[in-house]
Structures are given as C-alpha cells and as structure tokens.
Structure 1
Amino acid sequence: MVSDKNDGPKSKVTMAYALELVEIEEQLAALERTNQRLQAMAERSSNNPDLERRRNEIIDKAAPLERRRQAIIAAEEAAAEVYVMHGETRSTPNLFSDIQPELGFLADIQSEVKKVEEDRSKKRERSKLLPARYTNQDFFVADILGYSLKDDHATMEAPVFSLKTQKDLTPWEWTSKDGTKHIEVSPSVKYGRATQHDKDILIFVTSQMTEALNRERPDTQSRAVRFTVHNYLVATNKPTGGVEYQRLERALDRLKGTTIKTDIKTGNKRVKEAFGILDSWAIIERSSSDERMIAVEITLSKWLYNAIHAHEVLTIHPDYFRLRKPLERRLYELARKHCGSKQSSWKIGLELLREKCGAQSHIRAFRNQVQEISNAHTLPEYHLIYEREADQVTFYVKNQQKLISSYLCR
C-alpha cells in the first residue's frame, strides 16, 4: 500500500512547478499574440524600425521564459522516475535542488497547498463579472466617449507650431522673456514644419489619455496610441470626406518630421536629445474599397507623454476646433494658459505677444491681424481688446460673474 506521507512532499513540489509552468505558458502565449500583431503591421508598413525594435524586445522577453519552461519540464520528467522498494514509494532524491522557481511559488508552498485543498472542499462560487482578459495591451486605444478637451502646458506656452497655411521650411527658435525656457524647432525638409492645425491630433490624443488616466486604465502606460480616423475627425469638428483623410496623413508626416530641442521640462523630466513631435506613425487598417486609412497608430514623444502623465494639461473649450485661423487658435491658447482658472484678465504688449505667438509676419501686419480678431469676437471664453495708444492687448474672461468677482477682490 502506498504511503500518504511519502507522496506529500512530491505532490506539493509538483503542484508548485505546475502552477509556475501554467503562468509561464500564459506569458509566452501573450507575447506570441503580440508578436503576430506586430508582424501583420510590419507587412502593411514596410521599413518601420519601431515595429522591428518592439518585435526584438518581445523575442528578448520570451527567451528566458522558454529556457525556464524547458528546465521545469525536464525536472518534472526526472521526478516522474520513481521506484518501488519493499512496498514503499520514494521520489528520486534531491532532483529539484539545482532549480529554484523564479516566480516565488515554493517560498510559500505550504499556504498555497492549503488554499488549494480548501478551495476543492468547497463549492466554487461563480463570479458576478467576467474576467478582465486584455489588461496588458502594447498600445493605448483612444476610444473614450464623453471627455473634456485637454491641451498640454508646454506647447501652450512655447510657439512650437507654425501659423502658416503653406509649407513652412523656416527653422524656429524661441526664448522666454526671463530666459529660463528655450526651444529650437526644425522643420522636415520634405514636409515642412508642423502647423497649428496639425496640433489637433495631439489635443485629441492628450484628451483621451488624460481621461483614461483618470479612469485608471492600464493601457495608458504605453506611448503607442491607436484611434479610428472617423472618431478623430468627428471629435475635432472636421468633415469626414476623403480629402480629410489625405490631410491627416500629411499632418502626421509633418508631426513626425518636425524635431524639437528644448530645455523645457515635462513631468519634471528633461528630454536632452532632439526628438520628433511624434516618434512614429503607421496605418493599421485601410478601406477595402478606396484604400483610405481607417485606423492609425502613433507613438508619442517622451516629452508629450511625460506631460500627460504628470497631468500638466488644461481644459480647453470645444469651440477651439471651430476657429478658422491659426492665429485665433494660438491667441486662445495663450489667453487660456495665462488667465488659467483664477485670473480674469491678462495684459501683454503687442511685440511680446507676436513673439509668444511665433508669428513671422511684420509687426504692422500682425497688428492688423490682431485688430481683425478683436473686432470679430470669435475667441471662446475671452474678449480680446487691442489698445492702439499703448500698443498692447488685454484678454478678459467673458464670464461676467467671474469678472465681477475678480474686481471686487482687488
């Protein structure tokens, strides 16, 4: 008759290795699924170094797991070689002394075995919720409905984007008035410098990721972001015709091609090397009828990603996307950044305002443009007043209650 006390140690150790083996195989399967997705993306988008780098990272992660898996299987096969002597069963001695589980199952094996035995003795209760199956994605999916629009502090302060509507090949350099912030922007030779309208993509993604962070979604840990083009066009108040898909593709090219070198920190971190506004972008899915892109994946720069995760963002008005002129959008950004949530007004000289806008026009032309915008009253949330004698501009909040409260507190 087989002795229970001789079977005990063997069954506990075997159970520990079985549990570890299951977890390793699940990790390998997840890595394989990710690798297959990346391979499919690489076939559709040739010569993409970022995809190749990510596939190599997956291979590097899988290698030690596969070695560990083979070691456990070999140990289990050795442990299965038992022999019977004088009516007793004994395991081959000390087979597992050279293999210690990395995942920590043997450290607390007694409590684990006890828990398993207790679970078996009870009727298993069915969870009221289905399990969360896909929590560790390699990309963030921008699919949230009902969120506030967000803009990052750094690009609201510094004039990163061109105000021109034609290709801008002019390198740009800006230093803050106090000399503490500096930025150099170099355009793509082929596509030109990213424009103020191109920034709509970043505002859309920043808004989505900020809301996802507030909801504690795990996929926000990735700098890779996927979204459908139709959702983006609707969210940014654009037509959904075929020409907009072409404009988006050109905008993505400019964002990737425009490089920045700056000492402005985001998330209390400084990115010391020059970097693209986007690290990369790729078309994930195309229409079968007309080849236009349906879904895209972009990889954010560390600079913008750090700002989003540090919540260095401000809520902007949805009517921002209704502003036609790049200068209108830039003036609204500056008013929103400097008035914030507490100030009711902000005053600035016209020449300094021209520098902060990043305008390349002559001061006389810029003065006329500002005067036209002041007369049109198109800016959401703010009135823009130009005082010709002082040659300065004042922004006032349109909220009368906030304006009155501010004056009473003086």
Structure 2
Amino acid sequence: MAKEKQSSASSIRKPPKGDEQQDFFVPALYDVGSRDSRSIMDVAVFRLSKKDRRAGAVIRYELPGGEYVQVSAGAAGMASVWDYDLVIMAMSHLTEAMNRYREGKGEKPGRVYRPHVADVLKFCRRSDGGKQKDDLVEACIRLNTTHIAMERTRKAKNGRTVTVSEGEALISRYKVIKSESGKPEYIEIELADWMHRQVVEGKNPDVLTVHPDYFLIDQGIGRYLYRLARQAAGKTSAKWSFQTIYEHSGSAGTFKEFCRILRKLIEADDLPEYALREEAGQSGPQLLMTNRSAVELPPGEEGGV
C-alpha cells in the first residue's frame, strides 16, 4: 500500500515511448551529460507555471552583498522552466565540445548550436509528436524575449574584486528550419554571451551536471528544487528556509500554496539524487536537501540559507 501511495503522488512523469532506445544516427546525444549554468541555479530565471504566461512581468531577486538578478518577460510571455531545456542542451553540447578542444581533439566551439528537432526531443525526454515540435518554436520565441539582467561580484584576473552588471536574453537569437511538410526540422540558437563565456573561459567551465531524470520532473517547483539542491547541496547537504525558497522561486502564487506543493514534493521524496525533509527552524519551516549517496553529516555541517 505504501508503494502505491508513493507512486500516485510521484512528481516524476513516465518516460515517453522509445525513451530507452538509442538512435543510431545521433550517438553523440547519449555521450553528453546534461549541464547547467551554476551562477543562476539558485534563482528561477523563468516561470514555473505551465498556465500563467506572465507576459510583460518582471521578477527581481535581491541577493546578499547588494547583488541582484532581474527577469523581464516580453509580449510572448516569460520563458518557462520547460523552455529552458533548450538552453541546458546547448550548454551541455558546448561544454562537451570545449572539453574536446582542451584535449586537442576539436575546434574551439562558438555560440551557435544547430540540432535536429528529433534530437532535442530525445535529449529532453519528450515524445516525438507534431505538437511537441511546434512547441519548440514557441519556446525559442520566449527564450529570445526573456531578458536577464544581473549584478554579481567576481574576482578579476589581477586579483581585485569587481562588480559586474550585464544583461542579455536567455538566447541571443534563433532560427527554425522547416521541412516541406511545414514541420520544424532543425532549430538554430545562439547562446547568451555570458553563458558562452562561463564555459569557454578559464580552465574549468562554471557548469554543473544535471541528472537525466531532471527532464522527467513534472512540476515546475520540483524542477526548481532539484536545481537548487544541485547547486547548494552538491554531493552533501544544504538547508534552506521555506520562505527563502519561495522568494528565490519567483512563484506567482501565495506562500501558503507554495508550502502545500513543497510538502507534497517532500512526501513523494522522489527527486533525482536528493532526499527532501522538513525541519523546524527559528525563522519557520526549513527544507533539508541531502544527496542520497552522501554520508550523514554531523549537525551544523549543512550549507544553505
């Protein structure tokens, strides 16, 4: 009975038909781990709702030390966490290409990425239907018209601490190539310059590997929680207050509703890699996120806010 209850409350959708079958024509697709930009994994630079398009909306995250991240949506609506799968795929292949370049096995990669639509759907673990292909076109439009402005403090090459303010859309441009039937066949996207720099500058790209089952997480809040855990907990553990998670998620719902969904995800406890547990705290309820393979840490050793 317990297993049946957990299954019915699962936050993970079933893989699409044929998900386990590797395509002979795209072997490289399965050699590339999914990677995401570390610098924006602690805040949601996209909407978490499938229904609320949030056209023209602005979300501003005030961060410690006077830093901030601001997300501004265009008339087509704010890019969603599902739209952002395209960025993860592009970042993943860019990172892989850069690794080959550092090993002397290929040319230095540029910002433009041009995959076949079928490869995109396979990578993102979606079904290969006509609507799914058309949805990718809408995703490109929203990614291109969702602007991210940020102010972050970083170390310059001379060792000085500098504050950098910059802004750009999630993707700088896009192009869709359609077949004779009118269906999208290839998409071409150009990554934001700052994302490209994070991968190609320096010895180690500022990206984190994302578990393949991330793409099967059904709810937007669940996806955000995984990203937060991946960035904050890593291979160990992190503890964040419900209030801080709510504020960093950009959720348009009430805090009460957000907590209800959060507790459902804690009850299901089936996110890839990370176990979730609620604990009491002086500032209100806390979420403990622990890597399932981590050794239990002594009290007070968790990171977080």
Paired-residue identity, %: 26
Shift of the 264–198 alpha-carbon distance from structure 1 to 2, 3 Å rule, reads farther
- Alignment partner for residue 174 of structure 1, among 47, 53, 61? 61
Shift of the 181–301 alpha-carbon distance from structure 1 to 2, 3 Å rule, reads same
Give yes or no for the alignment of 1:155 onto 2:49.
Answer: no
TM-score where L is the length of structure 2: 0.79
Which residue number in structure 2 is paired with residue 300 of structure 1?
A: 191
Q: Going by fraction, where is helix more abundant, 1 or 2?
A: 1
Give yes or no for the alignment of 1:183 onto 2:38.
Answer: no
Give yes or no for the alignment of 1:324 onto 2:210.
Answer: no
**Runs of 4 or more consecutive aligned structure 1 residues displaced over 2 Å after TM superposition:** 142-145, 217-221, 264-274, 387-390
Give yes or no for the alignment of 1:282 onto 2:175.
Answer: yes
Letter in 2 for 1:327: I
Letter in 1 for 2:287: V
Which residue number in structure 2 is paired with residue 210 of structure 1?
A: 95
| Gapped regions of structure 1 (runs ≥ 5) | 1-141
Contact 2:98-2:109 within 8 A present in 1 as well: no
Shift of the 205–315 alpha-carbon distance from structure 1 to 2, 3 Å rule, reads same
Give yes or no for the alignment of 1:378 onto 2:288.
Answer: no
Q: How does 1:8-407 map to 2 (within 5 A)?
A: 144-166=29-51, 167-169=53-55, 170-176=57-63, 178-189=64-75, 191-216=76-101, 218-264=106-152, 272-284=165-177, 286-288=178-180, 290-310=181-201, 311-341=205-235, 344-387=236-279, 390-399=284-293, 402-404=294-296, 406-407=297-298
Q: Distance in 2 between matches of 1:144 and 1:347?
A: 34
SS for the counterpart of 2:94 is helix
Shift of the 144–333 alpha-carbon distance from structure 1 to 2, 3 Å rule, reads same
Which residue number in structure 2 is paired with residue 134 of structure 1?
A: none
Contact 1:150-1:313 within 8 A present in 2 as well: yes
Letter in 2 for 1:210: T
- Deviation per CA, 1:321-372, whole angstroms, max 9, x where unpaired? 110001100000000101123xx22111111111122222211111101000
Q: Distance in 1 between matches of 2:172 and 2:46?
A: 17
Q: Going by fraction, where is strand more abundant, 1 or 2?
A: 2
RMSD over aligned CA atoms reads: 2.6
Return the index of the structure with the highest Cα Rg. 1
Contact 1:157-1:356 within 8 A present in 2 as well: yes
Shift of the 272–407 alpha-carbon distance from structure 1 to 2, 3 Å rule, reads closer
Letter in 2 for 1:330: Y
Letter in 1 for 2:31: G
Q: Distance in 1 between matches of 2:85 and 2:130?
A: 18
Contact 1:267-1:307 within 8 A present in 2 as well: no
- Deviation per CA, 1:253-304, whole angstroms, max 9, x where unpaired? 00001112211379969874532111110123x222x211111111111111
Letter in 1 for 2:199: I
Shift of the 215–204 alpha-carbon distance from structure 1 to 2, 3 Å rule, reads same
- Deviation per CA, 1:115-148, whole angstroms, max 9, x where unpaired? xxxxxxxxxxxxxxxxxxxxxxxxxxx9554121
Contact 1:271-1:303 within 8 A present in 2 as well: no
Q: Distance in 2 between matches of 1:230 and 1:271?
A: 38
TM-score where L is the length of structure 1: 0.59
Q: Distance in 2 between matches of 1:323 and 1:185?
A: 23
SS for the counterpart of 1:246 is helix
- CA displacement at 1:223 relative to structure 2: 1.1
- Deviation per CA, 1:378-400, whole angstroms, max 9, x where unpaired? 2111111123574111112211x
